Structure 1
Amino acid sequence: MVISKRGLVLSATAVVLTTVAVTGAGLRLSQSQAFFEESPKELVDEVWQIINRTYVDATFNQVDWQKVRNDYLNRSYKDKEEAYEAIREMLKQLGDPYTRFMDPDEFRNMQIDTSGELTGVGIQITKDEEKNQLLVVSPIEDTPAYEAGILAQDIIVKIDGKSTDGMSLEDAVKMIRGKVGTQVTLTIRRDNQEINYPLTRKLIEIHPVRARAEDTKIGKVGYIRLNQFSSQAGQEMRDAIGELESQNVKGYILDLRSNPGGLLYSSVEIARMWIDDGLIVSTVDRKGVTERQQANHNAISNKPLVVLVDGGSASASEILSGALQDHKRAVIVGTKTFGKGLVQSVRGLGDGSGLAVTIAKYLTPTGRDINKEGIKPDIEVNLTDDDRKNLQQDRNKIGTFDDPQFVKAFEILSQEVAKSPSTHTSVNQ
């Protein structure tokens, strides 16, 4: 998930993966809420108008959007629940899983998540519309789902025994979430096998950065694992690099595997710690208007850098790894990333509900559109089934020499350090 600095986070425990920029702050006054209670048709039209003004695809998925408006405004709605159902039906015609309506409870839960009081099992999910499947984008580190062994790209086929066939993303999120201490069972399909995972919901505290200096045959190497681009990630990353620089590390391995994304400004802030000059990311709306985020000549270190990615590295992870790859600032190792390059706007509606709308796409510095394509690593390293099981059974092996992808990253880093061992120094401390 990616979000602008002014934005609201779409649930950090179980939610559609998304890139977000908020364009309407907060909810309206109770008078407005009362108005929409009495006139649910007005809410349908408000949603239609927002899509009409801002949706990234000016063809609206080849749908006659004006005809859609006429159709839905000619209907009668006896209450807001009927209006909600009509809105979801209307949005479905866009064929975009990231453009979605949230009823007041769902929107309120999203705002609660923003406060950092996260409860759930610790996964981020999306809906594969083509296959009509609920897909795990990534488990969040040190959460029930992560510790149980749920993996990126797992398919959720049942929730508490109920089939997810045809289930909306919103309904799945409602079923997965719940009070701390209660249990939910997810049935996962992986490699044509179905596995039941009974999970106990808990309050989830996310510490985005973990770092250490690893003593190796080439000297000390800095290992940094970033598991989410939260509001704290930038400062924690800055502190980690500063501490590792003080230990005179030779270079860095930055681990973005299974990092589902987070805040857009956080990804840009962290990119600026490694890239001293040039474009980091650009976003383009349907009118071709481009907003560019640049480096600001404040990089902390120019020492060799290797970045680890996989299929669970998404959105903000792809912004960062794509920028580092395009600038040839780092060697990317692992497997192809998730492929999420769309930007959403999230806003409150008149009755306390909310709307996320895809308003733009983002491009890497060289202009690559990675949506559905992902970032291809410079050096591909796949894990075998035995490797996965080994790491799944002992998570402490991740990011160590028992981790084959880490081993390859270290091998590449050693080569990079050997090329110019005396020219890489810390900068802008």
Structure 2
Amino acid sequence: MVITKRGLVLGATALVLSTVAVTGAGIHLSQGQAFFRESPKELVDEVWQIIDRSYVDGTFNKVNWRLVRKDYLNRSYPSKKEAYEAIREMLKKLNDPYTRFMDPEEFKSMQIDTSGELTGVGIQLAQDEKSKKLTVIAPIEDTPASKAGVLAKDTITKIDGKSTEGMDVNDAVRLIRGQPGTQVTLTIQRGEKELVFPLKRARIEIHPVRSSKQNSPTGEIGYIRLNQFSANAAKEMADAIKGLERQKVNGYILDLRSNPGGLLYASIEIAQMWLKDGTIVSTVDRQGEREREKANNRALTDKPLVVLVDGGSASASEILSGALQDNKRAVLVGTKTFGKGLVQSVRGLGDGSGLAVTIAKYYTPLGRDINHAGIKPDVVLEMTEEQRKALQTDRNKIGSADDPQYAKALEVLNQKIAAQRGNQAQK
């Protein structure tokens, strides 16, 4: 199977009642799909074969993968449900929360609708690799979860009163999923505090980019907030930059806070809008084959740039911010990013189910492996929990004088604009 960039997922990744940002391209049905519909055991073997061929770690995280095959193919599977349970059990041996099986219903729900319309509470959920607890990657802006005050790194301990201890991410998704207008209650551990959030499920239309022209001491600047690297993110970003360039802004603040990632190709295309030249990202598979993505001399602006990041900035956000930082194109302001440096491919299986497989690691232009480590901003500014809550309960404050990290970014940007003018005056 040939995986193109459009089939590579960088989201941090199980999306609750939304979708992993992946398009139909890159999702390939196996040739023997009719056969697999009739033979659950062959579906188990198909999943094993995909992992065997493409998993990023040739040691399979120190698991004897051939012995695993022998074990699972010696079993009988009277029904597809039992085969699905076996596949999930088999994949757990890899100890990789990002490599996961989805039954047909789950697979259908995780494919993005190109209109950007999602249904649910608006959180991205993953299993913490160390603690195995269900962890919020980031709440999606202007959704029930974000409005209620759910934060990145929150641990979900109960769903409608049911403990999540030992719960699979897919099982959690099934419990949280439901019809718009219905309610689900999440119990969350945040540090020493236990918080309860009754959330009403909703249908959400998401536009990944919003932008505005704002005043500053050095003149007007462009503010662009990118919420997700979805299929239409690059087009909306290009439109935003071109519109602000026509308004002759003096510099930009790009806000990637609480952006959990999405499509690899979207992060590359957006990086090319800011970078004239230089490497953007390199990916390395288990054979050590390195593919480098570079800028293509088609930057839409060369004006000063400051990027806002935080602990909810994951994956594709880290590719973009890492590329801009390593190429000295932008100053990063905020707090350390999430730390996910793995790439998944997603493919459909013969019976309508799907499989996400970690196939590569990615590195920043200077060769930094940010998995677990994250990216440290050039200017660190922590916000208090009260300040974060104030921004979440009143989204209009984000990107305003009431937003402490934005205020710091504006200060840094004004310094860059002034320095650039000074250099030009000396020439």
Q: Same fold (TM over 0.5)?
A: yes
Query: What code does the residue aligned with 1:25 have?
Result: I
Q: Is the 8 A contact 1:16 1:98 kept in 2?
A: no
Which secondary structure does the structure 2 equivalent of 1:329 belong to?
A: coil
Name the residue aligned to 1:81: 81
Question: Matches of 2:72 and 2:423 in 1, distance apart?
Answer: 65
Name the residue aligned to 2:297: 297
Q: Is the 8 A contact 1:21 1:344 kept in 2?
A: no
Name the residue aligned to 2:131: 131
Unaligned 5+ runs, structure 2: none
Name the residue aligned to 2:182: 182
Relative distance call for 1:22 and 1:319 in structure 2 (3 A) is farther
What is the CA RMSD across the aligned residues, in angstroms? 2.3
Name the residue aligned to 1:263: 263
Name the residue aligned to 2:387: 387
Question: Matches of 1:216 and 1:87 in 2, distance apart?
Answer: 56
- Tell me the CA shift for residue 191 of structure 1: 2.5
- Tell me the CA shift for residue 32 of structure 1: 3.1
Question: Matches of 1:314 and 1:58 in 2, distance apart?
Answer: 25
Question: Matches of 1:392 and 1:266 in 2, distance apart?
Answer: 26
Q: Is the 8 A contact 2:9 2:344 kept in 1?
A: no
Question: Matches of 1:12 and 1:66 in 2, distance apart?
Answer: 28
Q: Is the 8 A contact 2:18 2:118 kept in 1?
A: no
- Residues 32-181 of structure 1 mapped to structure 2, 5 A cutoff: 32-33=33-34, 35-111=35-111, 113=113, 116-181=116-181
Which secondary structure does the structure 2 equivalent of 1:63 belong to?
A: coil
Q: Is the 8 A contact 2:10 2:343 kept in 1?
A: no
Relative distance call for 1:15 and 1:336 in structure 2 (3 A) is farther
- Residues 281-296 of structure 1 mapped to structure 2, 5 A cutoff: 281-296=281-296
Q: Is the 8 A contact 1:8 1:110 kept in 2?
A: no
- Tell me the CA shift for residue 18 of structure 1: 7.3
* Corresponding residue pairs, total: 420
Query: What code does the residue aligned with 1:226 have?
Result: L
Question: Matches of 1:237 and 1:276 in 2, distance apart?
Answer: 16
1:334 equivalent in alignment to 2:360 = no
Q: Is the 8 A contact 1:9 1:110 kept in 2?
A: no
Question: Matches of 1:231 and 1:316 in 2, distance apart?
Answer: 13
Unaligned 5+ runs, structure 1: 425-429
- Tell me the CA shift for residue 177 of structure 1: 1.4
Q: Is the 8 A contact 1:12 1:118 kept in 2?
A: no
Q: Is the 8 A contact 2:33 2:349 kept in 1?
A: no
- Tell me the CA shift for residue 187 of structure 1: 1.2
Question: Matches of 2:405 and 2:24 in 1, distance apart?
Answer: 37
- Tell me the CA shift for residue 117 of structure 1: 3.8
- Tell me the CA shift for residue 382 of structure 1: 0.3
Which secondary structure does the structure 2 equivalent of 1:219 belong to?
A: coil
Question: Matches of 2:10 and 2:120 in 1, distance apart?
Answer: 15
Name the residue aligned to 1:4: 5
Which residue of the other structure, out of 13, 16, 20, is the alignment partner of 1:14?
16
Tell me the alpha carbon deviations over residues 270-298 of structure 1, each in whole angstroms, 9 at most, x when there is no partner: 11111001111111110011111111101
Tell me the alpha carbon deviations over residues 151-173 of structure 1, each in whole angstroms, 9 at most, x when there is no partner: 11111111111111111000111
Runs of 4+ in structure 1 deviating by more than 3 angstroms, as ranges, are: 6-13, 15-29, 112-117
Name the residue aligned to 2:198: 198
Question: Matches of 1:181 and 1:315 in 2, distance apart?
Answer: 31
Q: Is the 8 A contact 1:13 1:118 kept in 2?
A: no
State the percentage of identical aligned residues. Answer: 66
TM, length-normalised to structure 2: 0.93
Which residue of the other structure, out of 27, 33, 53, is the alignment partner of 1:25?
27
Question: Matches of 2:18 and 2:169 in 1, distance apart?
Answer: 7
